Structure 1
Amino acid sequence: MFKYILLILLAFLLTTTTLFNPAFTQDAVNAKLLSHVPFDVNSNDVWGFEKDGIQYAIIGNANKTSIFSLEDPEHPTLRYEAFGATSIWRDIKEYKNFLYVVADQGSDGIVIIDMNEAPENITHDFFKPKIPLQGDSVLLRKSHNLFIDTKGFCYLAGSNVGNGGVLMFDLNNDPWKPEYMGIENFQYSHDAYVWNDTLYTSEIYVGRMGIYDIADKSNPKLVTNTITPNQFTHNVWGDDKNHLAFTTDERAYAYLTAYDVSDPKNVKQLDVFRPAEKESTGVIPHNTHFKDGFLVTSWYTDGVRVIDAHKPDNLVETAYYDTWDDIYIAHTSYHGAWGAFPYT
């Protein structure tokens, strides 16, 4: 059985009224709510961080990044707020005691948060480099999402630079000043995932998953691209062996899809999944992440779904938690669970 404990590590895109609604109740199977923190602003994505045995929930809000200590997970403690541009979209990743945050509105560039002395002393700053492009330079103002691999390379997807393809930076020399390495400028990418020298992209506006060879980050090469079932490829994530990839299409009635990518030049679709009891409601999937053979997927008004992917050609749901209980909002809306973090 997959042991999935729902803490604050669910990000809610909710109205202020709903956040404070005492009648807020949910359905759940094999999942338990330990705490619920209301905000006076909307929220977006979520990530996690651990230091000295203390776990932290990192929450993207409309105008800031909020950091909570989960030392007592039933009573999360707000430790820091990094205020920035007002944005519907804000995403966070972590590398070696630093958090990196991007927003898809405003001009924050990259918000860098130093967690080395957390929880007593947390600081942040803004990094806004000029990116060389076709004989000119472009100020990095915004990005839709980011990914950081195990080698310390940071990948920005959907920025204001070029076509919105993936920008690549090295974080190893100076975490406050990421070193620009190159750009995959073939197509706008909504999201990115990297395994070694392979880049997977969610090319949402052309409805496909792209696979690129980035061994030479100054000269990325397209390997192949694959049209996803509902042709609005929002998110892509891989397994821990680079044999599988999983995508979500951010559309009503859309699927979570599993692929065999062991031969990146011959990608094979293995299975699709959407909640059987909600197939007629048009509920929308958002983000999926792979952990220990399971997929943890935020599904907007349907909450969080946990799917067993040990047999990727037969995806089976094993747990869920419904985070949205407003019967007056259509299932085809973008309310509910934006993201879920399963890695601590």
Structure 2
Amino acid sequence: MFNKYFRNLIIFTAYLAAQQVEIENIRPIAHLDLGNCNDVWGYTAPDGHEFALVGHRTGTYIFDVSTNPHDPIEVGFIPGAISTWRDLKVHSYYCYVTNETGGGMDIISLEDPFNPVKVGEYTSTFTSAHNLFIADGYAYIFGANNDAGGCRILDLSNPEYPVEVGSWENTYFHDGFVKNDTLYGCGIYIGSLYIIDVSNKSNPTTLVEYNYSDYGCHAVWVTDDSKYAVTG
């Protein structure tokens, strides 16, 4: 539930920022001056305790936001490659972190979320990437530093040792979303939204390319009812 609300807040805030709308009914309850942050996600432990995962230019912060939401408590920091861009997502009690500098995809264990530890990194088929999305036990890596930088698919059955099982490399993807074995990918440089069947992970198949090159395609999210893909 935390991830859902956190995600919606991020989308809503980004929209308002773009529209330069004055916010009147949202009251900030805390502020952490961390400097150069680049991404945020959430993790809810089995006991319901909630944590904020914050990407930073120098690594990944983990904050306890349940004990006192007005004063989040830093419970861990995992150093990483110095990078302006970092993205992170969660599978089970693992946090996966990509960056655009190098060193591969960091794998952080949140089994004890008050004492997070890095347990490894993935470097087998890429060493940097712009973004990632996780769905149904697979990590979808976007903007990796090989081939076209489209989408690489990793099987997370063994969470500490991902295995690449497929890829789609027709063009560079800046962002993507996966639901019901369907990938929505943002071809930012050609202004296209791709819809791809990924039911066969070893052979993704393009279903639709929707081009609106005058506007670009930077990011995408699909509504809960799967009726709309929201891009920007």
Task: Decide: shared fold, TM above 0.5.
Answer: yes
Does 2:99 correspond to 1:103? Answer: yes
Q: Which residue of 1 aligns with 2:130?
A: 144
Instruction: Give the alignment of 1:179-190 within 5 angstroms.
Output: 179-190=163-174
Residue 159 of structure 1 pairs with residue 144 of structure 2 = yes
Are 1:220 and 2:210 matched, yes or no? no
Match of 1:123 in 2: 117
Local SS of the residue matching 2:219: strand
CA-CA distance at 1:5 after TM superposition = 8.5
Deviations 1:185-212 (A, max 9, x none): 1110001101122111010000110011
Number of residue-to-residue matches in the alignment: 216
TM-score by length of 2: 0.87
Aligned equivalents of 1:44 and 1:128: distance in 2? 21
Decide whether the 8 Å contact of 1:5 with 1:32 is kept in 2: no
- Where does 1:299-338 land on structure 2 (aligned, <5 Å)? none
Which of 150, 169, 183 does residue 154 from structure 2 map onto? 169
More strand by share: 1
Equivalent position amino acid for 1:144 in 2: H
How many percent of aligned residue pairs carry the same amino acid? 33
Deviations 1:38-76 (A, max 9, x none): 12x411111111112221111111011011101211000
* Stretches of 4+ aligned residues off by more than 6 angstroms: none
Aligned match of 2:82: 86
Contact 1:5/1:33 (8 A) holds in 2 = no
8 Å CA contact 2:103–2:123 kept in 1: the answer is no
Code of the residue aligned with 1:153 in structure 2: it is: Y
Which has the bigger relative contact order, CA under 8 A and spacing at least 6? 1
| Structure (1 or 2) with the larger CA radius of gyration | 1
* Structure 1 length-normalised TM: 0.60
Give 3-state SS (helix, strand or coil) of 2:52's partner.
Answer: strand
Report the Cα offset of residue 146 of structure 1. 0.3
- Asked if structure 1 preserves the Cα contact closer than 8 Å seen for 2:122 and 2:161, the reply is no
- After superposition, the C-alpha distances for 1:263-318 in whole angstroms (9 at most, x for unaligned) are xxxxxxxxxxxxxxxxxxxxxxxxxxxxxxxxxxxxxxxxxxxxxxxxxxxxxxxx
Alpha-carbon offset, residue 87 of structure 1: 0.6
Give ranges in structure 2 of 5+ residues lacking alignment.
Answer: 11-20
Unpaired runs of 5+ in structure 1? 11-25, 132-139, 249-344
RMSD (Å) for aligned C-alpha atoms: 2.1
Alignment of structure 1 residues 1-344 onto 2, 5 Å? 27-39=22-34, 41-51=35-45, 52-71=47-66, 72-105=68-101, 107-119=102-114, 121-131=115-125, 140-149=126-135, 151-172=136-157, 174-228=158-212, 230-248=214-232
- Asked if the contact 1:208/1:231 (under 8 Å) is kept, the reply is no
CA distance in 2 between counterparts of 1:197 and 1:5 reads 23
